[in-house]
Amino acid sequence: MIVTGSRMRQIGWLASLGLCLGIFMVLSFNVHAVKSEVLLAERKIVSLERETLMLETEFESRASQRQLANWNAVEFGYEAPRADQYIDGQRQLASLGLPQAPGAPSPIRVARAETGEDGAPVPARDMVSPLTGAPITLASASADTDPRSAFTDAFGDFLVEASPIRAAQARTSRPDEAVE
């Protein structure tokens, strides 16, 4: 089998192309390896900078402890608790409480249902406006009424009273009225 010159050149070009491709891949892997090492080094630098900042802050706070101790003693009057300042339990804590002074606000209580004398729950009262004390009627949900008019009928006066808009400019709207 005799190989001609042009066939030899084609094989040579193909071999050189394969060699270049191999070198390119090796260099590409080396570049990616170096990039990952650089990224790891940058991350390490950032973490070391954070640690340095934390240590500097701690050093500055420890260096100023004498100043803080002076402030606590002179300005604020703070001092470490003594042994006689600790309490033994809940009873001793409760004994420290003072009776309610005249004119003091009543203590906050947990909400609970009102009950009558016989222990039965008292029926719910009608809703009233917090501003005027007038009773508020709720709209009944019926299929033949327009929900907008039912809402306006039920809450219109309340919303006018509670609105930040001046009363002269506020008015209730009904869907059957023509808008000018």
Question: pLDDT tens for residues 12-52?
Answer: 999 999 999 999 999 999 999 999 999 999 999 999 999 99
pLDDT band at 140 (very low <50, low <70, confident <90, very high): low
| Rounded mean pLDDT, 103-119 | 76
- Residue ranges per domain, the chain? 5-76, 127-175
| Residues composing the chain | 180
- CA-to-CA distance for 144 and 142, rounded, in angstroms? 6
| Rounded mean pLDDT, 55-82 | 80
Say whether pLDDT at 141 is over 50.
no
- CA-to-CA distance for 53 and 31, rounded, in angstroms? 33
Say whether pLDDT at 157 is over 60.
yes
Question: Quick one: which H or E segment has residue 35?
Answer: helix 5-63
pTM of the model: 0.32
Say whether pLDDT at 143 is over 50.
no
Cβ-contact 148, 159 below 8 angstroms = no
Cβ-contact 175, 146 below 8 angstroms = yes
DSSP calls for 41-80: HHHHHHHHHHHHHHHHHHHHHHHTHHHHHHIIIIII---P
Beta bridge partners of 135: 128
- CA-to-CA distance for 131 and 28, rounded, in angstroms? 77
pLDDT band at 145 (very low <50, low <70, confident <90, very high): low
Highest mean pLDDT among 26-35, 82-91, 133-142 belongs to 26-35
pLDDT band at 1 (very low <50, low <70, confident <90, very high): low
Choice between 44 and 108, residue whose per-residue pLDDT is larger: 44
Return mean pLDDT, the chain: 78
